[in-house]
Chains A and B, each alone.
Chain A
């Protein structure tokens, strides 16, 4: 038995898709001679995920994130490479395997599929039958998870009458009723307001702690990753670019800290010039009487001290770059290097 929940080795996925020039004549031509192109969605990706980890799987649109999740869930067959999830080969889709995983998709919901016109509880009950849960166990889990997710008041409402956020929360509860060992979450906070996002982050962390589940989540919302994940895997164009903790990524990309200085009065160019004369200092942004600079991590404290001694300032703050800034820089630098 493997010590990892997910083992991925040299995973490659190539799609064949039809391409067609615009226009009527081209459409007629394509009937007789269809043209196809091959798309390499994943190219030799390898990683392992251990029990209880929450891994943020990030990358720009079309990077291969959802394709990876679909392969891990057994929906897609890999073209090359080895994939093992909970000691099973996902695409064989054994009942044992499917009873231990949950794949929560970004745009399609199970409740919408089976209970669109019915109360949320009817959709939950269907899940109970799929996973053969006893009634008492089912009742206990519905009560507990609904309370954790704060959806008790919508359980009797038809799914079609719920807001997007309520539907998403109900969908997540529905997908956890059988207490899966592995949760594959695709864009969990897409379209949710900040309150719902926070509730979801707290729910997820609490759930993983309580149930010792493993989570792999993709998101374009870096708050999801920062708040929930302990580890991040970055991919682009089907290749893995980084695998490690968030702090390590920040150090790798920036190795710098930000200092935001607000002066008593509007700062002048002389101050800016003097600051820039210190080696390793760069101006990030300027706004009225505030200036944000970046410094190398090793000298950030000294620079802050010097500013405090030399200038009349109303506020000073040493900040770390946000994950969003790190990721943006990571991928923009990658593009420049292309």
Chain B
């Protein structure tokens, strides 16, 4: 059965290959923000000190990693999911023996693979430019764990965006809710500032969005012990279970309200 979802991802990869120039352009999107943040934090930490335990190297590495992870986490899912509810094209999938959630998760991953490849290339280029300021972990397990948590973050981000899109079953347009929540997630994932530097940090460190950027970055920087990682892993598994179950429940209830407009 997994072959069906892999095929849906493959179709998206093939489709994106038709528009490879877009993905190439994405390289500039990956390059510019970390460079801009580097100059900002270099000015703030010019005296050579640190903020909340982050020195300049930590900050630069943190932002390179979180920018890549968060910008490549589909927390707004696909607007197409909500649009298909409004315009009735959801009918195409309701009449096929497929799991709608998995189908869109894999389609989305397929459509982002090229972007990820260019994103990694961008991270390497930025790391070379800022080589004197970047923390490069030596252990392979650090990379593995960061990527593992980032993948969990993808499922969490996707589920969140998926549920927001499903609000189209109830509201005329959920697009604005999605745009609004994008800003919230950017903040709560730690993309703009490390979460432990925010006030009321225990709340932000409870929410699932931390797995989209903050936690993988902390692991990458070597700021978490084995026990912390195990605790976060268990927490991530619970959040994934809750959000995936909620996605299915909302889809089940919402699809009863589906009016399938148009022919």
Contact = CB atoms under 8 A, between A and B. Distances in A.
Interface string A88-102: 000001010011011
A131 B1 CA distance: 9
Contacts of A107: 262-263
A126 interface: yes
B97 A129 contact: no
- Which of B1, B14, B92 counts the most A-chain CB atoms under 10 A from its CB? B92
B95 A74 contact: yes
Contact of A103 (B8, B95, B98): B95
A109 B3 CA distance: 22
B98 A130 contact: yes
A75 B90 CA distance: 9
Contacts of B259: 15, 17, 76
A129 B89 contact: no
Interface in B111-169: none
B258 A187 contact: no
Contacts of A122: 11, 14
Contact of A70 (B7, B97, B260): B260
A115 B1 CA distance: 20
A77 interface: yes
A75 B4 contact: no
A118 interface: yes
Contacts of B92: 105, 108-110, 113
Nearest to B18: A117
B187 to A, nearest CB: 28
Contacts of B263: 66, 105-108, 186-187
Given A76-B258, A107-B262, A101 B95 contact: yes
A102 B258 CA distance: 19
A154 interface: no
A107 B172 CA distance: 21
A45 interface: no
A118 B110 CA distance: 14
A125 interface: yes
Given A66-B263, A98-B97, A101-B95, A75 B258 contact: yes
B262 A126 contact: no
Nearest to B80: A113
A80 to B, nearest CB: 15
Nearest to A98: B97
Contacts of A95: 97
A259 interface: no
Interface residues of B, number: 25
Interface string B222-263: 000000000000000000000000000000000010111011
Interface in B78-111: 88-89, 91-92, 94-98
Nearest to A218: B263
Interface in A107-148: 107-110, 113-118, 122, 125-126, 129-132
A126 B95 contact: no
A176 interface: no
A76 B91 CA distance: 9
Given A117-B18, A122-B14, A126-B7, A70 B262 contact: no
B260 to A, nearest CB: 5
Nearest to B94: A75
Contact of A108 (B1, B11, B88): B88
Nearest to B5: A129
B54 to A, nearest CB: 44
B15 interface: yes
Nearest to B84: A113
Given A76-B260, A108-B263, A118-B14, A125 B7 contact: yes
Given A77-B256, A106-B263, A117-B18, A99 B97 contact: yes
A15 B88 CA distance: 14
Contacts of B3: 129
Nearest to A76: B260
A114 B11 contact: yes
A11 B56 CA distance: 69
A100 B128 CA distance: 57
A114 B7 CA distance: 11
A107 B15 CA distance: 22
A58 interface: no
A88 B90 CA distance: 21
A126 B94 contact: no
A93 B95 CA distance: 8
A260 to B, nearest CB: 37
A73 interface: yes
Nearest to A96: B97
Contact of B89 (A113, A130, A186): A113
Given A70-B91, A102-B95, A117-B15, 13 more contacts: A17-B259, A73-B95, A75-B95, A75-B258, A98-B95, A98-B97, A106-B263, A107-B263, A108-B88, A113-B92, A115-B11, A125-B7, A132-B1
The 5 nearest A-B residue pairs measured at CB:
A106-B263, A129-B7, A98-B97, A95-B97, A129-B4
25 contacts: A18-B172, A73-B94, A75-B91, A75-B95, A75-B258, A76-B258, A76-B260, A98-B96, A105-B92, A105-B263, A107-B262, A108-B88, A108-B262, A114-B11, A117-B14, A118-B14, A118-B15, A122-B11, A125-B7, A126-B7, A126-B11, A129-B3, A130-B97, A131-B97, A132-B1
